[in-house]
């Protein structure tokens, strides 16, 4: 049980580092001027931090998420989350659980998207 929590904690840390450093302008060494990209990164990071238990492949059944998770699920572009972080093999996050969570939190994915 402790190994699973440590694994999830390290995964979240690596994801936060990756999301906060992506799209760096290498010529100037600065983040892009677009605040929209940064807001997407922060919303996805918050979604991962507060909802990773509910969409993880480690837990066999879908549990109804708490209100804090739903708060960030409503703010997040879950379609972008699916495109970037959910793989075809569902190694870390279950695409079925992501779809169920999005539907439960009133932010359903359009039919035909990668997770939906």
Structural domain boundaries in the chain: 36-111
Bridge partners for 56 per DSSP: 93
pLDDT digits (tens, 9 = 90+) for 30-70: 555 555 555 677 888 888 889 888 888 887 777 888 999 99
Mean per-residue pLDDT, 75-80: 87
Report pLDDT for 68: 92
Mean per-residue pLDDT, 83-89: 75
Place of tokens 């837990």: 59
C-alpha–C-alpha distance, residues 85 and 95, integer Å: 10
| pTM (2 d.p.) | 0.64
């Amino acid at each position: 049980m402790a190994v699973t929590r440590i694994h999830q904690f390290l995964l979240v840390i690596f994801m936060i580092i990756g999301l906060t450093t992506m799209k760096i302008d290498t010529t100037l060494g600065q983040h892009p001027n677009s605040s929209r990209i940064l807001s997407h990164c922060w919303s996805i990071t918050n979604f991962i931090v507060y909802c990773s238990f509910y969409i993880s492949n480690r837990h066999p059944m879908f549990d109804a998420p708490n209100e804090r998770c739903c708060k960030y699920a409503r703010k997040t572009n879950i379609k972008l989350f699916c495109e970037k972080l959910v793989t075809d093999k569902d190694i870390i996050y279950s695409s079925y659980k992501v779809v169920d969570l999005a539907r439960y939190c009133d932010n359903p994915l359009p039919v035909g998207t990668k997770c939906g």
